[in-house]
Amino acid sequence: MTSPFFSESDISLPTSSLPIFPLPVLVVASHNTGKLGEFQTYLQPLATEVLAMPQDLDIPETESTFLGNAALKAKTVALATQQWAIADDSGLEVRALAGAPGLYSARYGSTDQERIERLLRELAGQGDRSARFVCVLALANPAGEIVAHCEGECLGEILEAPRGTAGFGYDPIFFVPSMGLSFAEMEPEMKQQVSHRGQALQHFLAQMNP
């Protein structure tokens, strides 16, 4: 996907054959129940069961790109469960901060409040507050081979103060001009349609059903 921000440099991963859908089981490389629910909503046509990865499985995000981390998680879960696995990696990129927090979005502070406060401090006095949320998905077969990957993004800007009470993370300060709302002001159905993860999942479904 063409972006005015920062693109993946290693998007061409080796690929193998796509599966025949629906799969009996598709494992999501996450323990997050909210994320699992979103994946289950979108991926229902592709698998009889969409399950979270085992609770005792922990996967450090050690790669240098969103795609690298998504691929690492998908491969690890696929090999551990001997099932098809899907993973995502996502983050917030701010143009005036040269793409930060980017890969370190979840580690920009100890809590959501700390992360928001740090970002607002670093943007103080900046005229350009444009930003994007990006999400990269990767699908691995039971042998741990990446067979598909895609990216979704949502363009917006960083507000000077939080707005809204829904969502999580940076949602209260990420404003989507085309909707006139922050992520935290959107109804869940609206956010799923316009969000970076929603866009990535829609692209993924189109890729799986050409």
89 is in an annotated binding site: yes
30 is in an annotated binding site: yes
112 is in an annotated binding site: no
Question: Which of 88, 89, 112, 128 is an active site residue?
Answer: 89
196 is in an annotated binding site: yes
88 is in an annotated binding site: no
75 is in an annotated binding site: no
Convert the chain into a string of H (helix), E (strand) and C (coil). Answer: CCCCCCCCCCCCCCCCCCCCCCEEEEEECCCCHHHHHHHHHHHHHHEEEEEECCCCCCCCCCCCCHHHHHHHHHHHHHHHHCCEEEEEEEEEEEHHHCCCEHHHHHHCCCCHHHHHHHHHHHHCCCCCCEEEEEEEEEEECCCCCEEEEEEEEEEEEECCCCCCCCCCCCHHHEEECCCCEEHHHCCHHHHHHHCHHHHHHHHHHHHHCC
6 is in an annotated binding site: no
Q: 118 and 109 in contact (C-beta within 8 Å)?
A: yes
144 is in an annotated binding site: no
171 is in an annotated binding site: yes
32 is in an annotated binding site: yes
CA dihedral defined by 21, 26, 29, 33, rounded to 10 degrees?
120
90 is in an annotated binding site: yes
Residue 89 catalytic? yes
Copy the structure tokens of residue 3: 């972006």
Binding residues for Mg(2+): 89
Q: Which residues carry a binding-site annotation? A: 30-35, 89-90, 168-171, 191, 196-197
Residues within the annotated binding site for substrate? 30-35, 90, 168-171, 191, 196-197
Residues serving a catalytic function are 89
